[in-house]
Every structure is written in structure tokens, then in C-alpha cells.
Amino acid sequence: MIPLCNRRTPFTVAPEGLRLHSAFCRTVAYWGDGSYSNATVKNYPFIGKQFGRLLIESIAGRNGRSQLIVKIRCTCGTIKTTNWDPIRKGIVISCGCYRREQLSKARHIHGKCRTVEYYAWSAARTRCTNPKCDQYHNYGGRGIKFLWKSFTQFIDELGERPSWANSIDRIDTNGNYEPGNCRWSTALEQGSNKRNNHWLEWNGEKLTLAQWAKRIGINVSTLTTRLRDGWTVERALSTPTKFCLTPTKIRRIRAMYEHGGITHLTLGVLFRVHEATILEATKRRTFTSVL
């Protein structure tokens, strides 16, 4: 087969002597079917060299404007053909991955827009600033302001959420969402920090209705009914119920939990009390006087 250049001009030299011999053509010889001569490496010493992130693998021909086209391999793994001149001048240093990385870095602020901490921060801001929010009347509608300047400031002070059971809470329920007035709290802690809590004071200690019910081991509804029926606070808190936990029952519960491996839920069913009451008793947060 007679070798041809990309102008379809026949070469008259032998195949082993193919080289850029014509000033008129000024292009690499190939064999008509697209396969190029091995002599291209001699004429283009940049083949096999690295330019930025690009490795020049071979010559791919010329375009319609007689500009040299090269086959490149980028460090990201992309293989493509492109114009050689911008690579030679240093204008192009990658397949486009470098530009995408720089744009991503420019748009990157904190990288936590899909975290629970960001959702908590965003939800609190919406409750205070968006009148269309269902809870706006309980927050922004009654003067609660959102004073965090940015999510970065928020996360720097409060840190990440300790566990799945925690959510954002204001220490002063009538105060703003601002530095020094927010914390991560459990549902029980938040329930004890509500505006409509029913506080009871007995024996020099002031707790909410729910906290007293857990402390003495009776149901909240039972305690609520007693107070609604006109019982005094002392009588409502000191009168045991039919299924009230006694010191004997507490010792038995702790023994069954620690040595028998029985779960809190099962113990709650056996002793007719709430699972949370059993949990507090086994952790010795309540009935501390019972040994």
C-alpha cells in the first residue's frame, strides 16, 4: 500500500524511511486506513511526555485547519483527543477536571449542608423568619428572633449533635436563637423546658409534673387526675397507687435486670409501670435511697 498524508498525497519514499520530508504537506504520514507510521515519535519528541495532568500518548492527525491533534490521557483517567497548541502554550493542563475541582472548592463553604446539624439550624431559622411556616406563630410570631449569623458560627459553638435523641433547644424559652441560649437536648429535657409546664414544689424541691411522676413511680395521668380532683400537692405525691413501686419492688427489679437479663420493657409489663420508670430505677437515677 502506498503511504498517504492527510492531504491524500502519495509519498515516494520507502515505508521504513517515512518522515516529514515535504514543506508543502508538513504533516505525518499514515497508511490510508488511519494507522500512523512509527516515525512520528522522531518528528514529535513530546509524545510520551507529561504536560500538567496530561500525558501525550500519540498523534491523532490534523483538523480541518491543519492544526495538530493529539491523543491524551489525563491523571483522572480520561482519554480524549484535543488540539496540541493550547497544551504546548500551557493554556490547557487537564481534560477539564482541574477546572471542575476549582469551581467545587470555590462553592464549598462548610460541606455539611446534608447533615442533621444543618437541618436543625435551617429549621430553627425558618420557624423564626418565614411567616408561611406552620410553627411561625410560636416563634417568629411572638417575637423570637434568629440571631445566628451563619451555620459555621452555630456549629463552632454547639458542635455536632451528641446522639440521635438530641435536638436543638433554647435554654430560655422566651429568648432568641442566639449564642449562649441554645443547646442540644433530649426530648425529656425539652419537655421539662416548656412554657406550659405544670410545676410542683414539695419538700423543698421544684419539678415538673412529668418529673415528679417518674420520681415517685406513678403514671402522669394518675397524678394529673389527683390534682384535678382537688388533692393537695403533698397528698397527690405521697399517696401510693395500687401498682406503685415500693423499695422491695425496686430491689427486685434491679436484681432481675442486672442478674436475670430481663429487658426494661418486660419489667415494665410485669410491674405495671412505664418502661422509662424502670430505666431510671435500674440506672439508680431515681429511688437513690434504696440500696
Helices 264-271 & 247-258 angle (0-180, nearest 10): 150
Task: Read off the pLDDT of residues 56-103 as tens digits, 9 standing for 90 and up.
Answer: 999 888 888 888 999 999 999 999 999 999 999 999 999 999 988 888
Tell me, yes or no, whether 72 and 120 share the same domain: no
Instruction: Tell whether the model's pLDDT for residue 235 goes beyond 90.
Output: no
Per-residue pLDDT, 29: 43
Percent with pLDDT over 70 in the chain:
83
Tell me, yes or no, whether 219 and 143 share the same domain: no
Which alpha helices (H) appear in 54-150, and where do they start and end? 84-88, 97-107, 116-129
Per-residue pLDDT, 75: 92
Name 72's bridge partners.
56, 80
Tell me, yes or no, whether 205 and 168 share the same domain: no
Tell me, yes or no, whether 185 and 126 share the same domain: yes
Rounded Cα–Cα distance for residues 139 and 150 (Å): 19
Tell me, yes or no, whether 207 and 276 share the same domain: yes
Q: Which residues, in sequence order, are CB contacts of 249 under 8 Å at separation 6+?
A: 271
The last residue of a domain, from among 170, 191, 212: 191
Rounded Cα–Cα distance for residues 232 and 200 (Å): 10
Residue 33 maps to a domain? yes
Rounded Cα–Cα distance for residues 198 and 192 (Å): 9
Rounded Cα–Cα distance for residues 165 and 228 (Å): 32
Instruction: Tell whether the model's pLDDT for residue 110 goes beyond 90.
Output: no
Tell me, yes or no, whether 205 and 240 share the same domain: yes
> What domain range includes position 132?
116-191
Tally of structural domains, the chain:
3
Name 201's bridge partners.
206
The last residue of a domain, from among 84, 104, 124: 104
Residue 288 maps to a domain? no
Residue 5 maps to a domain? no
Geometric angle at alpha carbon 251, from 247 and 257, rounded to 5°: 140
Instruction: Tell whether the model's pLDDT for residue 189 goes beyond 70.
Output: yes
Instruction: Quickly state the pLDDT bin for 205 (edges 50, 70, 90).
Output: confident
Residue 123 maps to a domain? yes
Residue 261 maps to a domain? yes
Per-residue pLDDT, 31: 40
Which alpha helices (H) appear in the chain, and where do they start and end? 40-43, 84-88, 97-107, 116-129, 151-158, 187-191, 209-216, 220-228, 233-238, 247-258, 264-271, 275-282
Residue 2 maps to a domain? no
